[in-house]
Homo-oligomer: A and B are copies of this chain.
Amino acid sequence: MLSSTEENYLKAIYKISERDNKAASTNAISSEISTSAASVSDMLQRLSSKGMTHYEKYKGVTLTEQGNKIATNLIRKHRLWEVFLVEKLNFTWDEVHDLAEQLEHIQSPDLVNRLDQFLEHPKFDPHGDPIPDADGNFTHRRQIELTNLATEEIGTLVGVQEDSSTFLKYLDRMGLSLGTELKVLEKFEFDGSVKLLVNNKEQITISNKVCKNLFVKK
C-alpha cells in the first residue's frame, strides 16, 4: 500500500513518460509536482526499492508493470470522480480537478467499480479524457488539434489539452464546450489565430494558444 505522496509520483511519472515517450527525468518530475529535484531524487530510490519503478541513477525512471497498474488505476479513479462531480453533483468542469486529486487517493477495492457502474461506465471524463477500464485499457479516439483543421473544414470539440480553471472558464465564456461543432472560417497566418463558426451560429476568433489546446474530431 502506497501513500498519497508516492501515488502522486507514480502519476507524474506516467504522465511525463506518455507525453515525452521516454524515461521521466528528475527535473521533469520536479516541475510536474512542484517539489525540489533533491526530494524527487530521494523518492525515486524509494519507489524503486518498492518495485514501482525502474531507476538508474542519472538515467531517469520508468514505471514497472505494477507501478503502471497503480498509476492507471489512479487515472481511472480521478476521471470517474470527475464524472460523478459533474453529472451527479452539478459541479462545472472547471471546478472538479482539485477535488478529484483528493478523491483519487481513497483506498477501496470495490469503490471505483461501483462508482463506474453507478455512472453507467462512462468512457470519457468531463474534459474529454478517456477513462481506462478495470483492466487499464483506454478507449482510443481519433482526434486532432484544432490547428490541424484546414479552412472550411468542420470538427466537433471532443477534448482539451489543458484543464486549468482559467482556461475552462474562458471556453465557457466563448460558448465552447465538448460536443460543440466548429467550422474554420479563416486562419490568420500573422499570429496563428483562427476565426470559427460555432454551432452554425456565432462567429468567434480565438488565439493560436487556445487552438493548440483544443482537440476536435472531423
Task: State whether A90 touches B103 (Cβ < 8 A).
Answer: no
Contact with B along A84-104 (1 / 0, CB 8 A): 010011110001000100110
The 3 closest A-B pairs by CB, nearest first: A89-B114, A102-B106, A99-B108
A66 at the interface (CB under 8 A from B): no
> In the complex the two chains form, what is the Cα distance from A102 to B110 in whole Å?
14
- Encode A113-149 as 1/0 by CB contact (under 8 A) with B: 0110010000000000000000000000000000000
User: Would you call A118 and B89 a contact (CB within 8 A)?
Assistant: yes
Residues of chain B contacted by A99 (CB below 8 angstroms): 106, 108, 111
CB of A180 within 8 A of chain B? no
**Which size class do A's interface residues fall under?**
10 to 19
Q: Which residue of B lies closest to A90 (CB)?
A: B114
A107 to B108, CA, bound (A): 19
B102 touches A89 (CB 8 A): no
B107 touching A89 by the CB < 8 A rule? Answer: no
Measured between beta carbons, the chain B residues less than 8 angstroms from A106 are 99, 102-103
Query: Across the interface, which residues of B come within 8 angstroms of A89, CB to CB?
Result: 111, 114-115, 118
**How distant is A117 from chain B, measured CB to nearest CB, in Å?**
8
CB distance from A217 to the nearest CB of B (A): 31
Give the distance in Å from the alpha carbon of A102 to the alpha carbon of B114 in the complex.
Answer: 17
A106 and B111 alpha carbons, distance in the complex (Å): 16
User: Quick check: A102 and B91 within 8 Å, CB to CB?
Assistant: no
Within 8 A of B (CB), among A144-174: none
Q: For residue A132, give the distance in angstroms from its CB to the closest CB of chain B.
A: 20
Cα–Cα, bound, A91→B95 (Å): 28
Q: Give 7 A-B pairs besides A99-B111, A102-B106 with Cβ atoms closer than 8 angstroms.
A: A89-B118, A90-B114, A91-B110, A91-B114, A95-B110, A99-B108, A103-B106
Residues of B within 8 A of A115 (CB): 89
Q: Digit string of A64-96 for contact with B (CB within 8 Å is 1, else 0)?
A: 000000000000000000000100111100010
